[in-house]
Structure 1
Amino acid sequence: MTQRSRTRTRADNEPRVLLALVLVAVGVSAIAPRVYGTWLLEVAPVLLAVPILVAGYSRFRFTAVAYRALTVGALFIALGAHYSYADAPPGEWLRAWLDLDRNPYDRVGHVIQGAVSALVAREVLLRCTPLRPGRWLAVVVTGMALALSGGFEIVEAFAGAVTGNVGEVYLGTQGDALDAQWDMLCAFGGAIAVQWMFHRTHDRHLTERLPRSS
């Protein structure tokens, strides 16, 4: 087997490995979570996204950069779903280290949400539309990431209104009346940061690895 073939094989196997990692993490997170109803609400994006990505794998295979970002997002969700975002241990460690008034795990989660959605949107736009790398692409991608973030806030508000205590834990506002606005600001920052930091790497992966979608 040539070096090129080995590289291609690793690239083909990586999405399967990442998928297995996500499925194991979600399964482990389901073992005695703080509140099962909240766990289900939290992991719902992963449970919806995985079948879609698997079903469309043969027609639209994302780059390794996008799959890795999606995996980080899914693992973050799984951990938060198990403990609840307001009580996640990494957030408590960060809270103590920075002497914060609240557990910031959800804030970090929204930064990751903005970054992941921006990478995915960027890839779809570059492969399926006439848009090319540049300012207009960044504007559209950022707008799409913000739209997704706003959609999540609407869903969260609705869930909180109809599910009582489960929804209160799910919202995890920790007494902040401007929680939704801060969440969207974090998503905005994540979307901007990931495009600034990884656009060259993303473009290289798109050029080297993938054909345009059919």
Structure 2
Amino acid sequence: MNAPLAQRNYDKALLVCLGVWLAGLLWSGWAPYDRATWWMEVAPVFLAAPVLWLTRRNLQFSTLLLIFITLHGLVLMLGGAYTYARVPLGFEIQHWLGLHRNPYDKIGHFMQGFVPALVSREILLGTGAVKGRKMAAFLSICVAMAISACYELVEWWAALAMGQGADEFLGTQGDPWDTQSDMFFALIGSCVAMLFVARFVDRAISR
């Protein structure tokens, strides 16, 4: 495939991703449970969208990874619309598994490890910054965990700045180990990405 055609195809795929995000933002932001929480939850989407578009000439991801990135954004929007502790899907999972709390936030933190790890891996291997796939996997997990740790710091700062008003954003639901379990789920997500999904991304890139 020649370069101009490949670029046009990538632009189309990226526009589909951004279009889905726009529709999701309109839906989730129409009447969210808490407007301030919505802004904080979907902020990564507002940051990622222009970065993806402005870097599309020099930094292109596989179509499969774009799908995962799109899904991650939708997970954030759903959590922003209801707040993580009130997402209906989470209550369904809670009922199925007999849990004592709504686990939807753990899905969010799983994706927080899963998608950044795959993004990091494609960048590391695609730019030639790392040659070995094992080292790329290790560093990608490290990047995902660093992002997870930074996000927990943001939650801490939000709690200090907003006081009780940060409860909807934190979504701890009374769990004193919420921060640790959030990071653990991000670790699970990044490991699953490297162990079971990376090979499919490689096949998507080769095609």
Q: Is the TM value for this pair above 0.5?
A: yes
Query: Where does residue 170 of structure 1 map in the other structure?
Result: 169
Deviation at 1:203, TM superposition (A): 1.5
Query: Where does residue 186 of structure 2 map in the other structure?
Result: 187
Q: Distance in 2 between matches of 1:80 and 1:29?
A: 9
Tell me which amino acid in the other structure corresponds to 2:150: G
Q: Residues 31-46 of structure 1 correspond to what in structure 2 (within 5 A)?
A: 31-46=30-45
- Any stretches of 5+ residues in structure 1 without a counterpart? 1-5, 209-214
Partner SS, residue 84 of structure 2: coil
Query: Where does residue 106 of structure 1 map in the other structure?
Result: 105
Contact 1:80 1:88 in 2 (8 A): yes
Contact 2:7 2:57 in 1 (8 A): no
Tell me which amino acid in the other structure corresponds to 1:173: T
Q: Distance in 2 between matches of 1:7 and 1:53?
A: 16
Query: Where does residue 199 of structure 1 map in the other structure?
Result: 198
Contact 2:28 2:80 in 1 (8 A): yes
Partner SS, residue 131 of structure 1: coil
Deviation at 1:165, TM superposition (A): 3.5
- Please tell me the root mean square deviation across aligned C-alpha atoms, in Å: 2.0
Moved more, 9-18 or 70-79: 9-18
Query: Where does residue 158 of structure 2 map in the other structure?
Result: 159
Q: Distance in 2 between matches of 1:59 and 1:134?
A: 22
Contact 1:38 1:166 in 2 (8 A): no
Contact 1:37 1:166 in 2 (8 A): no
Identity of aligned residues (%): 35
Tell me which amino acid in the other structure corresponds to 2:158: A
Q: Residues 75-86 of structure 1 correspond to what in structure 2 (within 5 A)?
A: 75-86=74-85
Contact 1:35 1:166 in 2 (8 A): no
Q: Residues 42-57 of structure 1 correspond to what in structure 2 (within 5 A)?
A: 42-57=41-56
Q: Distance in 2 between matches of 1:12 and 1:159?
A: 36
Query: Where does residue 72 of structure 2 map in the other structure?
Result: 73
> TM-score, structure 2 length as denominator?
0.92
Query: Where does residue 140 of structure 1 map in the other structure?
Result: 139
Query: Where does residue 22 of structure 2 map in the other structure?
Result: 23
Q: Distance in 2 between matches of 1:93 and 1:124?
A: 36
Contact 1:111 1:190 in 2 (8 A): yes
Moved more, 68-77 or 58-67: 58-67
Q: Distance in 1 between matches of 2:71 and 2:6?
A: 23
Deviation at 1:7, TM superposition (A): 9.4
Q: Distance in 2 between matches of 1:13 and 1:124?
A: 20
Moved more, 71-80 or 133-142: 133-142
Q: Number of residues paired by the alignment? A: 205
- Any stretches of 5+ residues in structure 2 without a counterpart? none
Deviation at 1:101, TM superposition (A): 0.4
Matched, 1:129 2:157: no
> TM-score, structure 1 length as denominator?
0.89
Contact 1:121 1:144 in 2 (8 A): yes
Matched, 1:60 2:67: no
